[in-house]
Chain A
C-alpha cells in the first residue's frame, strides 16, 4: 500500500502542481521518484510531527495542497491538536496519511500500533476519514481527496496486502463499494480487512448464507443511503475493522443508526477489545488473537443467525 501511495502521489504531482509531499523522516527511498520529478515539492520534516502539521496548514492556507506522511500514531494522536486547530478548524485542504495503521506493525509494539485513530479523528469537525482496502483504493482515495479539497485522513496498511480490486471501481469518498451481492448478511469491511471479509463471505456462502460484502472505505462521512438500504434489507449488518471497538467504524454506524432509528439489533461490530496488545507476533498473529480472521468472523455471524 505504501508503494502504491508513493506511486500515486508521484503521478498526481503532475496533475496537481500545488501538491506538496511532507514526510516525517520515513520512506526516504520510497519518494525518490517523487523527488526526481518534483524537486521543490518534497520536504523531509524530520521527527517533528506537530511542526509538520502546522507547516502543512500554512502551505494549505497559501494555496498549496500538502500531504503529511508518517507512521500512523505519530501523524495522528501525537499532533492531534495541530490537526484539530490548524487544519480542521480553518477547513484547509491538508491530507494526513498514516502508514502502518491498525496492527500492520504488530511486531513493533504498542508504540506503533494504531487502534484508536479512526475513533479520534472522526470526532473532528470538517475531517474526512478514509480507509482504503488495497493498493487500487489507495490510489483512488488520494486522487479523490485531492478533488475534495477538504481535511482528509487516509489510513494505510504497510505493504504486501492482497490486491482485491482487479479493475478500478468507482471510488468516491463517502460512498461504499459493493464487492459482492448477497441477501442475508452484509459485511461492511473497513480498510485492509476486505480480503478477510470476502473469505468470510465464501465460508458463509458454503453454509448457505448469502453474504453481501462492501468496502466501507469512508468512515466519515458515512454512506447514509447505503446503510439505510442494508438495515432495511438484510438480516444482519456486520462492521469489520482492524481498530478498537471503542469509537471506531462500528460505533460510527451505531451513532448513525440511533439518529436514523435503524434496526440496530441487526448490527454486529467486530474489532479489537479495549486493551493494549503487548506481545511479540506479526499482524496475522495479532489478528488471530482478536478473532479478525475469516473462520472466526464467519463463525460469529453463523452463531448470531442461529
Chain B
C-alpha cells in the first residue's frame, strides 16, 4: 500500500515530467503544494471516480490553477483520468490544459485566474447545508492569491454564514510570480488576518502529512467556523536545485534536470 508520502514523491516526478514534456511553466508552484494534494486525495477526500458528479462527494478546488499538474497527477491516481492522459498535458486537443477546465472529470471549477476558488467553495459549502448533505469543500490557494480582494470578500462571507464544512489552505511558499509574497503586498501576519476574519486557523508545516491530516480532521458542517490552514511550504519542494528558487516559477526543466529530479525523488 502506497503511503501518501510516497504518493507525493510520485506526483512530484510526474509534475516534473509534464512540465518538461509540455514546456509548461509553474513547476515550482505545483511542487510546493503537492504534499497537501497527495494527503487529501490519499486519505481525506470522499470521491467516486466512476461518478465524478456524485452529489455527496467532497469538493476540492485547486484555486491556484497554475499548479494544475499536481491536480492532474491526483486525478490520475484516483482514476478520474488515466495515466496515459497525463502524457497529453498541454498537447493540442487535450483537456489537460495548463490551467484546469471543469470539462475534465474531477475538476470542480475553472481556475487559473486567482481569487475564484474560495467564493466558489463557499457556494458549494452553502449548497451542502441548504440541501442537508454532509460533504466537505476544500479549497487550495496560493499566498500570492491572497492579493485578490475576492479572497477577503469570501473570507467575510464564509464566517458570516458559519460555513463549517469549508476548509481552505494557503500554500504559503513565500513567493509570488515576481517577488517575495510578504514584500509585494503586506501579507503578514496571515494567520492573524484569517483569525480576525472569524476563521478557525491552523498553522502547519505544509510538507508534514500528519500535520495536514490533523488540520482537516475536524472539518464538518457542525462547526461554527470555517477552517483555514496556513501551510508553510517551500516553493519547488522535493527537488534540491529548485527549492526556494523563484526562477522555477517559469523555468522548464531540461532532460538532465528531469533525470536528476527523479533521482532525488527516488522515482524511477
Show the binding face of A for B, using Cβ within 8 Å. Answer: 20, 40-41, 43, 45-46, 48, 50-64, 66, 81-82, 85-86, 89-90
Contact = CB atoms under 8 A, between A and B. Distances in A.
Q: Is the interface of B mostly helix, strand, loop or mixed?
A: helix
Nearest to B163: A55
Interface residues of B, number: 31
A237 B263 CA distance: 72
Given A20-B130, A63-B131, A51 B110 contact: no
B124 A50 contact: no
Contact of A55 (B109, B110, B157): B157
Contacts of B124: 58-59, 61-62
B119 A54 contact: yes
6 contacts: A41-B130, A53-B119, A60-B123, A86-B119, A86-B120, A89-B101
A53 B160 CA distance: 17
Contacts of B156: 46, 48, 51
Nearest to B101: A89
Contact of A54 (B102, B120, B131, B161): B120
Nearest to B123: A58
B122 interface: yes
B123 A54 contact: yes
Given A20-B130, A48-B156, A90-B102, A54 B122 contact: yes
Interface of B: 55, 101-102, 108-110, 113, 115-116, 118-128, 130-131, 137, 149-150, 153-154, 156-157, 160-161
Nearest to B149: A50
Given A51-B153, A81-B113, 6 more contacts: A48-B157, A51-B150, A58-B122, A59-B126, A86-B109, A89-B110
A81 B111 CA distance: 12
A85 B127 contact: no
A64 B157 contact: no
B161 A43 contact: yes
Contacts of B122: 51, 54-55, 58
Nearest to B135: A62
Contacts of B123: 54-62, 66
Contacts of B55: 62-63
A55 B126 contact: yes
Nearest to B122: A55
A51 B157 contact: yes
A89 B102 contact: yes
Given A51-B157, A82-B150, A86-B119, A58 B131 contact: no
B150 A54 contact: yes
Contacts of B153: 46, 48, 50-51
A20, A59, A89 interface centre (most CB from chain B within 10 Å)? A59
B32 to A, nearest CB: 24
B119 A58 contact: yes
B127 to A, nearest CB: 3
A60 to B, nearest CB: 8
A245 B137 CA distance: 44
Nearest to B155: A51
A40 B130 contact: yes
A48 B197 CA distance: 15
Given A41-B130, A90-B102, A58 B150 contact: no
